[in-house]
Amino acid sequence: MAKKKTEQEGPDFPLQKENYILLIIGFAIIMIGFLLMMGGKSDDPNVFNPEIFNFRRITLAPIVVLFGFVFEIWAIMKKPKEEKQD
């Protein structure tokens, strides 16, 4: 038999408020990673600027972006805590 919903329960959404908050946090982490990749251009197109290959742009930023995507997957998969009904 199918479980009947009472009016107090409301609709059963796949994601809860907690999941959406975590998704926003993950999106912010991804944006921070992309912001870390910015910069390093040269003012003169005939002059090479080696700043484009520094640690922040080549190593740190991609790790931050990857962590943001992993965090997003975790935020979607996380089950919200069950409320105790006394």
pLDDT digits (tens, 9 = 90+) for 15-66: 899 999 999 999 999 999 999 999 878 788 888 888 889 999 999 999 999 9
Q: Residue 8's pLDDT is what?
A: 61
Burial category of 13 from C-beta neighbours within 10 Å (exposed 0-12, middle 13-18, buried 19 and up)? exposed
| Residue 42, both tokens | 């040269």
Which residue has better confidence, 71 or 1?
71
Q: Residue 58's pLDDT is what?
A: 94
Which residue has better confidence, 80 or 74?
74
Q: Is 24 left (phi over 0), alpha (psi -120 to 50) or beta?
A: alpha
Q: What is the arithmetic mean of pLDDT over 52-81?
A: 94
Q: Residue 2's pLDDT is what?
A: 61
- Helix, strand, coil percentages for the chain (3-state, nearest 5): 55, 0, 45
